[in-house]
Amino acid sequence: VFMGGILLGCKALDDGEELRIDHLFAGFKEKLGPLVIVGALYLGGLVIIGVLVFGLGAMLFGANALANLGSGARGMNAGSAIMSMLLLCCLVLLLALPLAMAMWFAPALVVFHGMQPVAAMQSSFFACIKNLMPMLIYGLVLMVLAIVATIPFGLGWLILLPVLMASSYTAYRDIYLQS
């Protein structure tokens, strides 16, 4: 809902208007229901991913602990623990990436095009697939910027977050509003 308002603020700036604080809350006035549904679908997806990863992690670490118990060893060996953690990290990435792709442009599509939540998420996912190389480069640059923003006690995020919001609007505009 807040992202919808932020996107409306970005559009106002793009149209030469002034940015106002009420832009932040504009998502509550316009398209509240569909934006809440998009957020709920995202939260539901994250919960499902969390449950799956937690369950798999419990099975991996539990099975390893039982195997070590039978051999008289105490705890997990380091190599096995590292491999289990890498497997879980890859699983999180594999599951969370499509969800993030579905969410990337969904608020903008709901706010600016009046799309229904599921259709907006599908369109966002396929737009990300179509622009996979630019999205990959964007993600890598974002990872570096996120690390740099976190170094000074997280204060760099005060600068990085507005830049991310503006870049999200710009990417939406470039992909969906091509002339």
User: Would you say 108 and 169 are in contact if contact means Cβ atoms under 8 Å apart?
Assistant: yes
Q: How far is CA 37 from CA 31, 65, 102, 116, 118, in A?
A: 10, 41, 13, 9, 9
What does the pLDDT look like over 136-148, one tens digit per residue? 999 999 999 999 9
The CB density around residue 164, as the number of other CB atoms within 10 Å, is 16
Q: What is the mean pLDDT of residues 62-77?
A: 63
176 contact partners, CB below 8 Å, separation of at least 6: 105, 108, 109, 112, 113, 127
- Kindly state the helix (H) or strand (E) to which residue 177 belongs, with its residue range: none
pTM of the shown model = 0.84
DSSP annotation string for 23-92: GTTHHHHSSHHHHHHHHHHHHHHHHHHHHHHHHHHHHHHHHHHHHHHHHT--S--HHHHHHHHHHHHHHH
User: CB of 116 within 8 A of CB of 10?
Assistant: no
Please report which confidence band the pLDDT of residue 57 belongs to, taking 50, 70 and 90 as the band edges.
Answer: confident
Residue 30 — left, alpha, or beta (φ > 0 → left; ψ -120 to 50 → alpha)? Answer: beta
Is the model's pLDDT at 179 over the cut of 50?
no
Determine the pLDDT at residue 34: 96
